[in-house]
Structure 1
Amino acid sequence: MTTLSVDEADIAWGSDAPVLRGVSVEARPGEILAVTGTSGAGKTTLLSAMAGLLTPVTGRVLVDGEKLVDRDHAVRLGVVLIPQDNGLAAILTAAENISVAVVATGGTPAEARRRTAEALEPLGLSGQANQLIEELSGGQQQRTAIARGLALRGNVLLADEITSELDAANRQRVLELLKAEAARGVAVVFATHDPEAAAACTRELHLTDGEAIWARA
């Protein structure tokens, strides 16, 4: 059971002015925290800091009380990020993208094969396992990225706008999978601009004008 917290953080990209100021939030085991806001409000910025990709200008990000240093440190602590741009290797198949990630985080080849199959099946992608990423539609690529994130079986799951390319049926399928992750004790953070998706989450943090306001605490 892992808790990720952001403590009084100003978060910026490089030397730019902070996108977010004085943000404090806790992602708790067994819950889905929705992060909402308009485009440009800072949803990706907040998740990037939670994932160790950005170091806050002030304040800190903690995983079970341990200060997060960088992305490698976050990976070691079991913080999984499903990025908005999916981050898949176009020259690999759907299955290879997942298996490589599992092995890179300590899984055996046999484990990687099993977890890959288990992750693709509920997302309706078993038939696309051996297709190259560049051969898949945008929605199929997004679901592959989700499958990869689920196969890594982290303690914290950060999901950035992962339903934006999906139809209603697949969006509901993904929400059910996020709920299943929370049910096994994962702290899930889901950035979304979809009010219906946010309403299905445990709590909602709304970003506006550089600040974080609790819509549902």
Structure 2
Amino acid sequence: MELKSVDLGYASGEPVLRGVTVTARPGEVLAVTGTSGAGKTTLLNAMAGLLPPRSGTVTVDGSPLGGRDAAVGRGVVLIPQENGLAAILTAAENVSVAVIATGGSPADARRRTADALAAVGLAGQANQLIEELSGGQQQRAAIARGLALQGVVVLADEVTSELDAANRQKVLELLRAEADRGATVVLATHDPEAAASCDRELHLADGVAGWARP
């Protein structure tokens, strides 16, 4: 995935980010860092097809990304900061519905759901409603959903913010495994240790993006 000279903003206000140029490569984990309000979520939303750039281009394999539906069809998975789970569904149902919606068969959805929930330590909570889970468990359920989709690009927005040290480490290992299978992984984080585990680090400050570790 490549962004070239991208300006990003909402409505008619000032741009949140200006002139962002970055290539996120298959097989690597790219950290996006910065203080709260620096634009990390804005950047990931643009990479997910949720926020069209005001100027510049966002491409995947050399072709324009398009909107969110097009991005989903091209295998761009977003694990949002607010989890985006349906409270009235169980953890397993949240994962399975997403797999089926992106073309998986019911049998495939069952298998991938079980594997993903087990990977994040939620096998025992598979049949619990999301609203019955703790904040950290909900975050892990959202991560499981993202993993089950087996994306070409995996965008993870502050996915370790509510996790204890052991679960944070496990999630970082799972994101690394996604990169090892060939996915492009982008992790937005304010956690220096999480950022340090990534291959490169793009830092956002004062509306611009610069390399902390190229």
Q: TM-score by structure 2 length?
A: 0.99
Q: Report the CA distance between 1:122 and its aligned residue.
A: 1.5
What percentage of aligned pairs have identical amino acids? 74
Partner of 2:135: 138
Aligned mates of 1:16, 1:72 — CA distance in 2: 26
Aligned mates of 1:13, 1:32 — CA distance in 2: 27
Counterpart code for 2:174: L
Partner of 1:166: 163
Aligned mates of 2:125, 2:10 — CA distance in 1: 36
**Between 202-211 and 63-72, the greater mean CA deviation after superposition:** 63-72
Say if 2:112 is the partner of 1:78: no
Map residues 43-54 of structure 1 onto 2, 5 A cutoff: 43-54=40-51
Aligned mates of 2:51, 2:70 — CA distance in 1: 12
Say if 2:114 is the partner of 1:117: yes
Partner of 1:15: 12
Aligned mates of 1:13, 1:164 — CA distance in 2: 25
Partner of 1:101: 98
Tell me which stretches of 4 or more aligned residues in structure 1 moved more than 2 Å: none
- Match of 1:154, SS? coil
Q: Report the CA distance between 1:152 and its aligned residue.
A: 0.2
Aligned Cα RMSD in Å?
0.4
Aligned mates of 2:118, 2:39 — CA distance in 1: 33
Aligned mates of 2:186, 2:164 — CA distance in 1: 21
Partner of 1:27: 24
Partner of 2:186: 189
Q: TM-score by structure 1 length?
A: 0.98
**Between 33-42 and 8-17, the greater mean CA deviation after superposition:** 8-17
- Match of 1:89, SS? coil
Say if 2:212 is the partner of 1:215: yes
Structure 1: unaligned runs, 5 residues or longer? none
CA deviation vs aligned residue, 1:90-146 (integer Å, no higher than 9, x gap): 000000000000000000000000000000001110000000000000000000000
CA deviation vs aligned residue, 1:39-81 (integer Å, no higher than 9, x gap): 0000000000000000000001001111112000100110000
Aligned mates of 2:83, 2:46 — CA distance in 1: 17
Q: 2:203 aligns with which of 198, 203, 206?
A: 206
